[in-house]
Structure 1
Amino acid sequence: MSAQGFRTLGVAYKPADAKQDFTKADEKDMVFLGFITLFDPLKANVADLMAKMNDLGVKLKFITGDNALVAKSLALQIGIKDPQILTGADLLKMSNSALFHKAPLTDVFAEVEPNQKERIITILKKAGHVVGFMGDGINDAPALHSADVGISVNTAVDVAKEAADIVLLSSGLEVLIDGIIEGRKTFANTMKYIFMATSANFGNMFSMAGASLFLKFLPLLPKQILLTNLLTDFPEMAIATDRVDQINIQSPQRWDLGFIKRFMITFGLLSSVFDYLTFGVLLFVFHANEKLFQTGWFAESVISATLIVLVVRTRLPFFKSLPGKYLAIATVLILMLVLALPLTPLATWFGFTRLPLTYYGWMLLIILFYLGSAELAKRWFYRKMNAAANKQMLTVLKK
């Protein structure tokens, strides 16, 4: 009956005098009455929800004080085929090193004591996993506190709710999937901003420093630099509402500082190449003076920085991943403002001048070439990063 998911109690009695004191030694030669079976059915859609979590790269593990047969039955009901089980007795015999290798492969931890729950969570974290733990009892508090994300429910005991990071107010578990997806969207959009801000700032610094070596005037005035930063920030601020590609939602994403550095250097240097190409056009084609040079580079710098967002915001070809509504609106507005600014009275205050019509043709060619080069560089960059990641994974598996 346990194997069918029933928690089973045997009931027996023994005639005795009401005045008699009972001890454990008296628990013999009793009359068996039968079984009491308790069944706690799964929610109707829990199997589907667990399948969706598995599709999202979230591995489900049971940690329970119930016996192994009941726990195995529960695992089978939600779709875990041939669940791997460890009992509390097994854990007592295991060293932390052995559990380090065994825990990630185990589906069900049954007949465990409260302190063993915390041990399992700690070992899984040391094995490199991000661990969420859901519990509602007093004995779950240590594990809730140890997990990367402790989750409890509104009907849990106060100790469990205080130890948890998140308390679910609704009875359904759909909110967990919604939370995972929204979290990944937020993380993906945050990374987009970091990629763009770091690479743009690195490229601008490299271009500014290089131009200062051969120009007799400042490449941009301080107020022009501040205006450049302000205008390029508007599309980047709209990234918070941007669409996220399915590839960024299907699997967990991790913070990787080394990846960010490589991205910054690759695309920062690429932007500088086209800044220097713009310098060449301004100096050798138009023989630009100070104001013309500053106006020309300002226009090219802001327009290219605004449009490059559409390329580097996605791993897909940019035309296959359309930006969100607010990002698209912000991009169009900034482009119109930059093109109109040299023609307005504000141009004098900022130190700008009107640009020759032919310069717009040159600028268009440079920007199109830049966007095309960035698209090719992006494909090469991610292909190289994927190859490096696969090589590292193969090395780990061999070890």
Structure 2
Amino acid sequence: MADNAAPARRAVLGLDVGKATHWACMLTRDGEIAVNRPVANSEHELDRLFSQVGEGTLVVVDQARNIGALPISRARRAGLDVAYLPGIAAHQASRMFAGDAKTDERDAHVIARTAMGLPDALLPVPERDGNLEAARSLASQRDHMVTCATRDKNRLRSILLESCPAFEALVDPSDPRWLRVLARLGGAWGVADAGRASFSALMRGAGGSARADAWTAIASSTRPSEVMVRAENPQVKMLARRISEAMEEASRLDAEIASLLESDDTYACLLTIPGIGPRTASELTIAIDISSFPDHDHLASYCGIAPRNRRSGTSIASVAASRQGNKRLKNLLIFSCNSLTRSANRFGEYYRACRGRGMCHGEALKAVARKRLKVIYAVMRDKAPYAA
């Protein structure tokens, strides 16, 4: 944030970015509006705007990716500093301004005024090398595939539950063997029609008890009408195929991301921290520019695992972790600590100490995540492997 917070009251150009056009609102050092107009989302129009604003102007956007990418790249090409005002901050700031209309013009005005008066609300827009940017793009696609698979798993379970609850309870839609069965045979009654031998052949590798339990569940359930069976089987087959494809693509993308980052010092050092695997290490490397955080407390706040402090007079209270921050990183940092709960290292001992003080499992995990984040911060800052 160092370059964005310098000197206060410098000219600010707020951009409410859009797909076809952006609204530009420029405030001079005296707070006067110098520019207030729409700008087409084209290189030529953006270059013309940035050539007119003057050297030293800070360009502030409300989206740093996708539709905000072109304004950021052209502003940098023009030699201007760029900062990012998160959407939640812009939304909260808009309440301080008169009126409640939601227009591009008003939003650009809010962005510019907030950047001028509250520079601490801004986040940097770091320039990344090609490998990191490619990894970020692939990670977004992987997340999309995981989301698609989760949605299809929920739909698959809904269909199976309505048809044969006992069979649905045994199905694991993350297991390739079960997906192979469902994609080939359909739901419970498609399995029954194919016969036990076909089912067992497709479930090869699974324990005999699992196959027997599934067959018993089908045999002990009442078959619905044939119309329902004919409607169910094609849906189950299609969903199972889509889940398999999405999971395979997510795995391929994970491997490609790891390959892109294998020469990155930060990524390699993060892998030495207990409980940090390739997925979490890649997310941290891609999402965090550690130079933007002066200490681990600021990083914890950004990740949403720092407690909110409340003070009134002589009373000081630390309450639950803030609900703000990067929810994705927060979930990764907390859930990756599950692997530490029974470990013999310092984090496992700390987890057990927290439970001994009366914390529930979730609270103890958050406490461990906060403690481990201090290590993560030091490792990323120094690019040095973790030493117990």
Bucket of the pairwise TM-score, normalised by the shorter protein: under 0.3
Q: TM-score, normalised by structure 1?
A: 0.26
Q: TM-score, normalised by structure 2?
A: 0.27
Larger radius of gyration: 1
